[in-house]
Structure 1
């Protein structure tokens, strides 16, 4: 199998291994709005199912605009192609292509048609810009977080139970979300003050409240293993620069056991490593990829807890990293808007690239960290955007093209795809989250 050969090749290279070290952690006191539980109960909650005991909350939905409510379908008409409104710079049309002026130079840009939408629903339960939104492992539930420290759990499908609907008040800004892959019951929440909360959606309570070490309070990303009961946290110290990247400081990459709720390993990054912005597991959890603010991509052998290789991928900070669908490549998104697909067979070889900088405005404060998401087929790559629309790149096959999403009323700050269906999420600075099903 191609992916197994790729893993063996990466592990055999084993670039400059480092010893595994332990990190001290403490269990923080529960906040007033959460019921307190001990670590033993945390362990039991992970292994034992709980039934929800309260009725689901009601939510506000937008019945205006291009979307519809609860299963109602948009008219199946063709959406015409038109030029994307760019967030900055001057643009003109020339020979059927959009031309974008950058620093006095003319850059040719392919015009993206609008997606053909089966249905779209808009969730209006938040009162501040959306920072993260994620489908659960089955796709039945959605978790969305906003800058005011609130997480909401909801469902877009009226045929699904609303018993898991909840509002979680965390206090500090929510910087990361991830669902546990196996049971579809646990949601991990990472905050800007070093908190990592595990929320059981059936019991409707925080079953464990962890903290990173005081030196690394910003939990920039969380990822659960697709196979083992572990997760990895990418936390950063507080920097002293004026830009968002400079404020991230140094990195700590920690592996946590979800049965004992204790840190087991700190993955080696060297002395004073630049902040890790994004992490992802391959399909069997054996390899972890991590992207950094210095433009590097690091690869780890999770069974040994060692870094096996790494390479400079971008001239700017890397905002997001994802394994390709066949596990033989990896996608990286730079903070400058450059996208690369890297071969894992031939390190340093670029299989595909694109420049989406027209959707990025480095001076904008609306999006601090851009991200991307691959659909279930691995053919469509959805990005965040400083515009009201996001690009969807076709990244497989001979014809590499793209689409653009229906508009929000402000920048698109977070994206995700349904695990099995052609349905995507877009969270926005306009406080809304949209669920869009496309043909």
Structure 2
């Protein structure tokens, strides 16, 4: 009996000692855990403060723009007082009809009460870390509705283009009232917006990957960053690539998010493997054509086409471009396959676009010409003069029965491919496409997944979004703090990218 009691007492004592030891080992960890928890709370409070400050900044900026627009209208009204006082809306309609102004431009320019410009929506921005972009996943993002469309064709019985009479929007004049259209565009209704602040110089190009999960953005200092805006997507592919020269073109491999092509101002073409996080191929164009203005991957075959240009002395970006070179490259051997014929001393090619099966390539030139190539034959099959000035950007329409072109003068045309030289739709973007506000004057455009919204770069802090072939008014993006230099749309969702001269890239989801 005594032995049993002693044994029981010994067991209790050992258990007590073990608990004491565990207690004394755990006790020093408690202050550290409390400190970590406190630091996390502090960080969360700071993030909330940053969101609130960004929100207030956006609201103040929008309010400032509205006040400036009001001042502009008052000055315009004061300058045109003798001609505008006493003019009724009916008289304005009569005058507009006689001058050829279309319905949409009448609404934008005559009646300030027709459009209700909403204030900046209550929305927070996140400053994404350059190496690990943190953002909310795109939850419940609705696809854009199909607006009712109507083709407003221009009568052209001969089927040939007349560049001097191609502009459908002949109502834009140099008076203050009609050139202030930016302020009269309603602001987009935003679901969410993320801001990436990883660059240290102006953004030159930004592109969604084939799936839309990854983004590549480039700046004029020769830096390319790969990142994601969606926290539900793995950030393991995030990377920074230093190219040593200004980035002039970017394009993702069309079948996957694995390869990114980078074209530079010193004739370099790099292929970056996002899985291996390294350059898998470093190509060079000929010394005679050092500026790689555009790169396009075939949507079907493992090839890509580079548009390079020679250099010459000029007062602006377009004038500094010389002759063109179009080269087809094999992405398996990383060797040049052939050169597409352009004739003797051809003007520089600024923009390329493949159709859905890669059989047709459209190319835009600085002399205002559009060239169409048969990739199987390696020959040009047609072409036509589209603009009086250089073409900055070219795109196939969603049904591939048309081609969009953006001139350096701001004129936008949608061309019929079934009736060559026939214009299906047009807009005058001159008030946004101001060459004097852009260092390189390399304006571009992007179509949404449905082909009904056309987003265009801007010399202003906001970019316009035009409704293609629709009678509804255009929209405008939320403001950056400097000119918007590059744009792109998500391949399937109503989400777009805007890169700015303020060194930032924004991902915006619209309702």
For residues 174 and 318 of structure 2, the distance between their equivalents in structure 1, rounded to whole angstroms, comes to 23
Kept after mapping to 1: 8 A contact 2:223/2:247: yes
From 204, 216, 239, the equivalent of 1:143 is 216
2:241 is aligned to 168
Q: Which SS does the other structure have where 2:286 is aligned? A: coil
Match of 1:231 in 2: 304
Aligned to 1:422: 494
2:503 is aligned to 431
Unmatched 5+ stretches in structure 2: 1-46, 78-108, 116-170
**1:243 aligned to 2:316?**
yes
Of 97, 112, 118 in structure 1, the residue corresponding to residue 185 of structure 2 is: 112
Query: Per the alignment, do residues 339 and 67 of structure 1 end up closer, same or farther by CA in structure 2, a change over 3 Å counting?
Result: farther
Q: Determine the structure 1 residue equivalent to 2:264.
A: 191
CA deviation vs aligned residue, 1:125-145 (integer Å, no higher than 9, x gap): 000000000000001100000
SS in 1 for 2:235: coil
Q: Residues 226-251 of structure 1: CA distance to partner in whole angstroms, max 9, x if unpaired? A: 11100000000002222211101110
Give, in angstroms, the shift of residue 67 of structure 1.
10
CA contact (8 A) 1:295 1:316 kept: yes
State the structure with bigger RCO (CA 8 A, min sep 6), 1 or 2: 1
CA distance in 2, matches of 1:415, 1:201: 22
Cα distance in structure 2, aligned partners of 1:272 and 1:199: 32
**Matches of 1:401 and 1:112 in 2, distance apart?**
7
Q: Do the aligned partners of 2:411 and 2:430 also contact (CA within 8 Å) in 1? A: yes
* Deviating more after overlay: 237-246 vs 225-234: 237-246
Residues 51-90 of structure 1 aligned to structure 2 (within 5 Å): 63=51, 64-66=53-55
Is contact 2:303–2:331 with CA below 8 Å preserved after alignment?
A: yes
Distance in 1 (CA, whole Å) between partners of 2:68 and 2:367 is 31
- Name which one, 1 or 2, has greater alpha-carbon Rg: 2
Query: Equivalences for 1:142-291 in 2 at 5 Å?
Result: 142-291=215-364
Aligned equivalents of 2:472 and 2:319: distance in 1?
35
Contact 1:367 1:413 in 2 (8 A): no
Q: Decide whether the 8 Å contact of 1:249 with 1:275 is kept in 2.
A: yes
Q: Could you give the per-residue CA deviations for residues 377-427 of structure 1, whole angstroms, max 9, x where no partner exists? A: 11100000000000001104x425310000000000000000110000000
CA distance in 2, matches of 1:83, 1:94: 19
Task: Provide the rounded CA distance (Å) in 1 between the counterparts of 2:344 and 2:218.
Answer: 33
Q: 2:201, 2:220 within 8 Å by CA — same for their partners in 1?
A: yes
CA contact (8 A) 1:117 1:436 kept: yes
TM-fit CA distance, 1:102: 5.0
Count of aligned pairs between the two proteins: 366
Structure 1 position 112, deviation (Å): 1.3
- Measured after TM superposition, the shift of residue 94 of structure 1 is 4.6
User: What is the SS of the residue equivalent to 1:363?
Assistant: helix
Offset of residue 106 of structure 1: 6.3
- Greater share of strand residues, 1 or 2? 1
1:127 alignment partner, one of 195, 200, 214? 200
Q: Secondary structure at the match of 2:431?
A: helix
Partner of 1:357: 430
Contact 1:391 1:405 in 2 (8 A): yes
What is the aligned partner in structure 2 of residue 334 from structure 1? 407
Pick closer, same or farther for the CA change 1:91–1:160 going to 2, 3 Å.
Answer: farther
Identify if the C-alpha distance between structure 1 residues 400 and 232 changes in structure 2 by more than 3 Å, giving closer, same or farther. farther
Report the CA distance shift for 1:178/1:102 in structure 2 as closer, same or farther (over 3 A): same
Q: TM-score, normalised by structure 2?
A: 0.68
User: TM-score, structure 1 length as denominator?
Assistant: 0.79
Counterpart position of 1:14: none
1:146 deviation in Å? 0.3
Give the deviation of 1:365 after TM superposition.
3.5
| CA-to-aligned-CA distance 1:31-79 (integer Å, 9 cap, x gap) | xxxxxxxxxxxxxxxxxxxxxxxxxxxxxx97453499xxxxx9xxxx9
Task: Specify the SS of the correspondent of 1:359.
Answer: coil
CA distance in 2, matches of 1:258, 1:380: 32
